[in-house]
Structure 1
Amino acid sequence: MRTRRGFSLIEVLIALVVVTVVSFAAVTTMVSSMRHNADNRVRSQAVAATEAWMDRFRSRSLPFNYFSTPRSYDYGYDYTNDSVFTASGDPNLAEIAQEWGRFKFEVKTEPFSTNPVIWRVLVTGYYKKRGGEGRVELVSLVRQ
């Protein structure tokens, strides 16, 4: 009697099902990872933009008193036509408008001490992400 070589149809179908299940799991994991990375990238950019706001206070280029009334800057805000930023002498307002336009900010200052003059600066940055809106909040004490 001759022995048969090769795989039966059942063995091929089982192997095909196993490969399909493993492939589906791998693709699902990769897609989830890519989405998570995209969310983290946007969050990192929002943190950097919020830090840039704080840096302007640290360099004393923004007027502390002006922000003692909380100010909001919505998504797509045009910083090139803002008198506070124009007066601050920022070198490239168009670049700021482009970078910060994807985010929303709430900025508030309040006196912390009078001698020396120190301000508490609160900058909250918001960013759009899948499923809603994320938030980054920075608080710092800045000497005037």
Structure 2
Amino acid sequence: MKRAEGLTITEVLVAMLLVLVMATSVSPMLTATMSNNSSSRTRSSALSAAETWIERYRSGQEPLDTVGPCVEVPTGKVTCTYAYDHSFSGDTGIPSHVSDAANLKGQFERFRSVLEATPVSSGSNLSLWELKVQVFWKEKEEKSVTVYTRFTR
């Protein structure tokens, strides 16, 4: 009797079992990789948001006194706190927030930002400021990035 070409049911079942074992062992690694990728993407967006705040201060678009969400203490330090999903169009004391509200909302709505501008020294026409920008976001717990710079105004 001549044997028919093809695989037996046993060979097919063994092959399926091997594929199942391999898929089961690889899936936790794949899940962890996707989670880390998402976390890295959010951190990159937070760094971009921090850099945007720095550029806005350097270009003079952000306040260095008490207005809107910003508070100045007697030492001259100005702290601005923007909650998650802050309404920039409601910051009527800061004209650049009202005019750029849609762009600001799109970039910052997922984040909470705390900006601290501290005067370092002043000359006849310009003052040197140190700016600390903290951008927070929520994953399983709240995470943050912090960026420092100095600028003159």
TM-score of Structure 1 vs Structure 2, range by shorter chain: 0.7 to 0.9
**Does residue 150 of structure 2 align to residue 141 of structure 1?**
yes
**Does residue 2 of structure 2 align to residue 20 of structure 1?**
no
**Identity of aligned pairs, percent?**
25
Pairwise CA distance, 1:83: 2.7
Deviations along 1:109-144, one digit per CA (max 9) or x if unpaired, are 111111251001111000112x21110111111111
Work out whether residues 62 and 84 of structure 1, in 8 Å CA contact, stay in contact via their aligned partners in 2.
no
- The answer to which structure has the higher helix fraction is 1
Match of 2:74 in 1: none
Provide the C-alpha distance between the structure 1 equivalents of 2:93 and 2:40, rounded to a whole number of angstroms. 31
Match of 1:93 in 2: 101
How many corresponding residue pairs?
A: 142
Unaligned runs of 5+ in 2: 71-76
Pairwise CA distance, 1:63: 2.2
Provide the C-alpha distance between the structure 2 equivalents of 1:34 and 1:60, rounded to a whole number of angstroms. 39
Unaligned runs of 5+ in 1: none
SS of corresponding position for 1:65 = coil
AA matched with 2:141: G
Deviations along 1:62-109, one digit per CA (max 9) or x if unpaired, are 1223452422111011011113432x3774212212321110011111
Pairwise CA distance, 1:10: 6.0
Pairwise CA distance, 1:4: 10
TM-score, normalised with respect to structure 2 = 0.77
Distance of aligned partners of 1:2 and 1:97 in 2 relative to their CA distance in 1, 3 Å threshold: closer
Provide the C-alpha distance between the structure 1 equivalents of 2:135 and 2:93, rounded to a whole number of angstroms. 19
Provide the C-alpha distance between the structure 2 equivalents of 1:49 and 1:11, rounded to a whole number of angstroms. 57
Work out whether residues 72 and 105 of structure 1, in 8 Å CA contact, stay in contact via their aligned partners in 2.
yes
